[in-house]
Structure 1
Amino acid sequence: MKQTIFVLGCLLFGVLGFAQDKDAIQEIENFVSEQNVKFKDLEESTLPPKYRKKIKQLEYFPIDLKYRLEAKFVRADNELALAMETSTSRRSIYMKYNELNFEIDGKKLQLSMCQNQNLILEEEYKDYLFLPFTDQISGETSYGGGRYIDMRIPESDTVILDFNQSYNPYCAYGGAYSCPIPPAENFLDVKIDAGVKDYHKH
């Protein structure tokens, strides 16, 4: 009897896990689709027409749920203003909001998230968090200027960090843009083979 209950429990756990994976994959596919529409749409895209014409479809790494993980959300003790460097002489003012602690392949990693002090004045973005990062493949198969992830301030102390939903700054596609450069502390000493690839590498 106990063995039967154990087997049924394992089967139920497997079914639930499969359903969760299926939902996660669908969420990522929706994100990729939305990004492609955004870059091609005449009303939504901020790219000049000459660049939009070149981009038929953004290229992404195959979806890998290894890079969709749970991270510990740790609020920053001191909210210090940071003049983040950009791809131009402009400095973009951010406030460090929190740190994310997580593991990939058993390696403990940390990233800092911040808030744009101008953007949070808008109602739509008052709980918006910005995560710029680089990793071992930056400048190889992914854009050398780093990639970004957006997130909303969570209600709990854990969040889902999904590198499959990372995207490139507009600078990756050409044009005179001023894009935030990920700070040195947000370099990950691992390969993040997930999310969008470098446009110039294909």
Structure 2
Amino acid sequence: MKNFYFLLLLSFFSCNSQGKRALVGDTEYQQKLNASYKDASTSPLKSSDLKNFKGLDFFPVDSSYIVKATIVKTKNAPVFEMLTTTDRKPLYKEYGVLRFTIKGVDCQLTIYQSQDELRDEKYKNYLFLPFTDDTSGNESYGGGRYMDIMTTDIFKDNTVILNFNNTYNPYCAYNDRYSCPLTPRKNHLNLEIKAGIKNFKKS
């Protein structure tokens, strides 16, 4: 009988650990993102999707999508209203233009700074990089993907490391009750970025 209870407990903990392993992810970034989406208090998922959530889908981690970019800061950039999926129009400024090469293709993206977050001590150093690529609307979310960069990540020679493995979807990819910035057309990359977050398969 003791052996029976031991096996029962072993089976219980084994099932729990398997469930946890399903949320682990291949990198620390994926682990943290999965954990926040599993947590009902922080997750953007609808209750029906949260109930069946086992983890987000990612492209395989690929070091060729970790690149060094040169940033040319935009001088005297005006404040503008960024379009969103709703009537909300948050205030942003162009922070600069990033130039880099991926898979032999020369690329350029504009990076932005939220004027609202500048007033928030927690987020004042955050820069916002939205982009679309040739996977958008197929393997990745049609509205584009986002990457966060810190002003403190920028080196003295005005270069910064871009890790496309560490991208995330706007909350609108999971739940249409959110208001999300629309990726500007000029931030389209004419190649497939097969790294980072994939499109979400809703229940």
Please state which band the TM-score falls in when normalised by the shorter chain.
0.7 to 0.9
Partner residue, 1:137: 135
Unaligned runs of 5+ in 2: 1-25
CA distance in 1, matches of 2:49, 2:76: 41
Structure with higher Rg: it is 2
The answer to whether structure 1 residue 197 and structure 2 residue 195 are counterparts is no
CA distance in 1, matches of 2:78, 2:72: 15
Q: 2:113 aligned to 115, 118, 135, which one?
A: 115
Deviation at 1:43, TM superposition (A): 3.0
CA distance in 2, matches of 1:143, 1:93: 24
* Partner SS, residue 91 of structure 1: coil
Structure with the largest fraction of strand = 1
* Aligned counterparts, 1:33-44, within 5 A: 33-44=31-42
Runs of 4+ in 1 over 6 A off after TM superposition: none
* Partner SS, residue 86 of structure 1: coil
- Aligned residue pairs total 175
Partner residue, 1:66: 64
Deviation at 1:45, TM superposition (A): 2.5
CA distance in 1, matches of 2:61, 2:178: 29
CA distance in 1, matches of 2:172, 2:53: 14
Backbone CA RMSD of aligned residues: 1.7
Per mean C-alpha deviation after superposition, the further-off stretch among 86-95 and 67-76 is 86-95
Partner residue, 2:168: 167
Q: Deviations over 1:67-121 (max 9, x none)?
A: 0111112211231222111111222211111111101122211111111111110
Partner residue, 1:179: 180
Q: Deviations over 1:109-167 (max 9, x none)?
A: 11111111111101111111000000111000000010000010124211110110010
Identical columns (%): 43
Amino acid paired to 1:167: Y
The TM-score, its normalising length taken from structure 2, stands at 0.81
Structure with the largest fraction of helix = 1
CA distance in 1, matches of 2:35, 2:143: 23
CA contact (8 A) 1:134 1:187 kept: yes
CA distance in 1, matches of 2:53, 2:187: 28
Unaligned runs of 5+ in 1: 1-27
CA distance in 2, matches of 1:121, 1:47: 28
